[in-house]
């Protein structure tokens, strides 16, 4: 059996074949066990479920579509090769996002891209098919000037996140873009819960400082 994931190039995701009906209703843990035993259809279903959120997380870390496609592809190859080591008592989502996050952080460290800008396309897919942008001010019938100010603020926040060190950036994105609870973030990143809370607290303080500099 071999991994069947292929980069689509245009869509920014990993393409999976159509899922069979007997796999679509299975849990992630069941699919992982079947894929580990050589069931290619089960692996394709896992790929279908996680290709978009994995790409979204990696893209938000590296902010380069082609690079995010490569790192997402690398993630699924590692997932395929490591299925035998996956422990079913843990959430599969936490396990796969940990692999994806590590791939992104390793790249950022190697390339010393701690100040990588988050400017760029804003159509990256996210959990629940959200737009993938940092949460912005809700629309309450603002006039055009207020809407423009809200968009500018959202862009400033994304640029500020791009200045954070990779560990802080990962925690902030998982918490405030992807919406994961602290406990699951700690599980994904293999960090103590207190460390995750500390990273997020420090990241928020740094973001306030960056935004204060940008908007005196």
Residue 10 domain-assigned (yes or no): yes
- For tokens 């306030």, the residue is 208
Is residue 1 scored above 50 in pLDDT?
A: no
Percent of the chain whose pLDDT exceeds 90: 36
pLDDT of residue 194: 96
- Mean pLDDT over all residues of the chain? 76
Residue 1 domain-assigned (yes or no): no
Read off the pLDDT band of 81 (50, 70, 90): very high
Residue 56 domain-assigned (yes or no): yes
Rounded mean pLDDT, 95-122:
71
Is residue 3 scored above 80 in pLDDT?
A: no
Is residue 5 scored above 70 in pLDDT?
A: no
Residue 86 domain-assigned (yes or no): yes
pLDDT of residue 36: 92
Read off the pLDDT band of 27 (50, 70, 90): very high
For residue 114, give the CATH number of its domain. 1.10.1740.10
pLDDT of residue 215: 52
The dihedral through the CA atoms of 14, 19, 23, 27 has a sign that is positive
Distance, CA of 135 to CA of 138 (rounded, Å)? 9
Distance, CA of 14 to CA of 36 (rounded, Å)? 20
Give the chain's domain count: 1
Is residue 39 scored above 60 in pLDDT?
A: yes
Is residue 79 scored above 80 in pLDDT?
A: yes
Q: Is 15 helix (H, G, I), strand (E, B) or coil?
A: strand
Residue 134 domain-assigned (yes or no): yes
- Cβ atoms within 10 Å of 23's Cβ, excluding its own: 20
Distance, CA of 215 to CA of 116 (rounded, Å)? 20
Is residue 18 scored above 70 in pLDDT?
A: no
Beta bridge partners of 6: 15
Read off the pLDDT band of 19 (50, 70, 90): very low
Residue 52 domain-assigned (yes or no): yes
Residue 139 domain-assigned (yes or no): yes
pLDDT of residue 33: 92
Beta bridge partners of 15: 6
Residue-number span of the structural domain to which 47 is assigned:
6-214
Query: Which pLDDT tens digit goes with each residue over 144-182?
Result: 555 545 555 566 777 788 788 888 999 988 888 888 899
Distance, CA of 16 to CA of 50 (rounded, Å)? 10
Rounded mean pLDDT, 201-214:
84
């Amino acid at each position: 059996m071999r991994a069947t994931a292929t980069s689509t190039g245009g869509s920014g995701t990993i393409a999976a074949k159509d899922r069979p009906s007997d796999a679509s209703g299975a849990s992630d843990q069941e699919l992982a066990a079947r894929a580990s035993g050589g069931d290619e259809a089960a692996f394709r279903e896992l790929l279908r479920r996680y290709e978009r959120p994995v790409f979204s997380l990696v893209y938000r870390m590296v902010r380069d579509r082609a690079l995010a496609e490569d790192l997402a592809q690398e993630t699924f190859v590692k997932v395929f090769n490591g299925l035998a080591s996956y422990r079913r008592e843990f959430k599969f989502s936490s396990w796969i996002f940990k692999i994806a996050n590590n791939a992104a952080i390793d790249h950022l460290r190697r390339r010393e891209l701690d100040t990588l800008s988050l400017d760029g396309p804003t159509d990256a897919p996210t959990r629940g098919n959200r737009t993938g942008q940092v949460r912005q001010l809700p629309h309450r019938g603002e006039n055009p000037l207020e809407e423009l100010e809200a968009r500018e603020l959202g862009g400033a926040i994304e640029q500020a996140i791009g200045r954070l060190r990779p560990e802080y950036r990962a925690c902030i994105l998982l918490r405030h873009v992807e919406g994961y609870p602290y406990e699951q973030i700690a599980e994904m990143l293999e960090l103590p819960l207190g460390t995750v809370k500390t990273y997020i607290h420090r990241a928020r303080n740094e973001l306030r400082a960056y935004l204060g500099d940008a908007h005196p």
